[in-house]
Amino acid sequence: MSDAAASRFRPFEVVSKKRESATITSFRLAPLDGGQWRPFEAGQFLTLRIPDGKGGYALRNYTVSSSPREEGSYRITVKREAAPSDEVPQGLSSCWLHDEVEPGAVIEIDTPRGGFKLDAASTRPVVLLSGGVGLTPTVSMLNVLARESERPVWFIHACDSAEVHALRDEVEALAALRPGISVHFCYRFAGDGDRCHSRGFLSRDTLQSLLPLDDYDIYMCGPPPFMQALYGILTGLGVRKERIAYEFFGPASLLTAEGETPARKAPPAPAPVAAEDGGVKIVLEKSGRSFAWDGASESILAFLEAQGIEPAFSCRAGVCGTCEQGLVSGEVDYFEEPLDDMPADRVLLCCTRPKSSVVLDL
């Protein structure tokens, strides 16, 4: 990380630490300088600098689980990722947060970012689908919908059991704030005394019984097997792909059994400059392939995925640098400011669109 990028991180104090379940704990973070707090939208995440045990730092992203209305601090809700065996390392950041960080500790964080955000302009009914600790963005979204909207909402959450179910009381309290909010909890390994609405895996029949025929906005977050299963169920029920927004770290094609890339809703894009033949092109120099830019893709990364090409990536938000590629020629527009400065001959695919035809070192 460059000195310029490192300087963007600001010190935040852990003002509280609250155990939410057997495996999940929440941390409330407040800036040492109150002026360093920045607004965020429900669904966005923070990037933390985590000591790597070798004298350096690692970067980790955690979704803000608190409401955007709670100004002055952020809450992150973290699952402790214990190693399944001695041969697999513990989760570096989650175990550090759970085992070593206590109130009073200072953590450096960057400003909120990320494109997985509640569309506040839409009037469609909302389905919030989560698995495990994937409920962190959907709880923040529910907070906004319960207090600032009259849209019908279905909050559907799946986890292993009551023992690992986090933020249940908060969700039920939010659902009770107004009519039109339905809650459904599904426990994979429900005990005799567990209070849940269904058992096993979330099934097509369960979703079909919960959701009347309608045109929904669906927000989905959870572990990869959960995401793939639910994406298949939803599209099988006729939900339009562009209505399904998701937070997913890994190739988007993994969400479908056939490797098809799901649609992602793109933010408004500036009009690109046309090439001499009248169209903007994305050219891959090494492979010799050329594609006409569709003008609607979320990013160059999403566009390439739609063509069956899967460049490496992780965060989709300009943080990790995994999707960095050589830019042989052309200009791009950054709709999400990258964490680190990019040289003129390099580009982050996840947060750019072409301003003109571009040639990539791919």
pLDDT digit string, tens, across residues 153-183: 999 999 999 999 999 999 999 999 999 999 9
The domain segmentation of the chain, as residue ranges, is: 3-109, 126-255, 281-360
Own/partner contacts of 274-280, CB < 8 Å, gap of 24 or more, are 275/356, 275/357, 279/357, 280/354, 280/356, 280/357
Q: Please report the pLDDT score of residue 252 as a whole number.
A: 55
Rounded to two decimals, the pTM is: 0.79
| Residue 70: partners with Cβ closer than 8 Å, 6 or more residues away | none
Would you state the pLDDT for residue 249?
A: 54
CATH architecture for the domain at 126-255: 3-Layer(aba) Sandwich (3.40)
pLDDT in tens, 190-224: 988 899 999 999 999 999 999 988 899 999 999 98
Per-residue model confidence (pLDDT) at position 259: 47
Q: What is the pLDDT of residue 255?
A: 66
pLDDT score recorded for residue 220: 96
Burial of 105 (0-12, 13-18, 19+ CB in 10 A): middle
* 309, 315 contact by CB (below 8 A): no
Q: Which segments in the chain show pLDDT lower than 70? A: 1-7, 83-91, 248-278
* SS3 of residue 96 by DSSP: helix
Task: Name the CATH superfamily for 281-360.
Answer: Beta-grasp domain (3.10.20.30)
Identify the pLDDT of residue 37: 96
Superfamily per CATH, domain 3-109: Translation factors (2.40.30.10)
Helix (H, G, I), strand (E, B) or coil at 334: strand
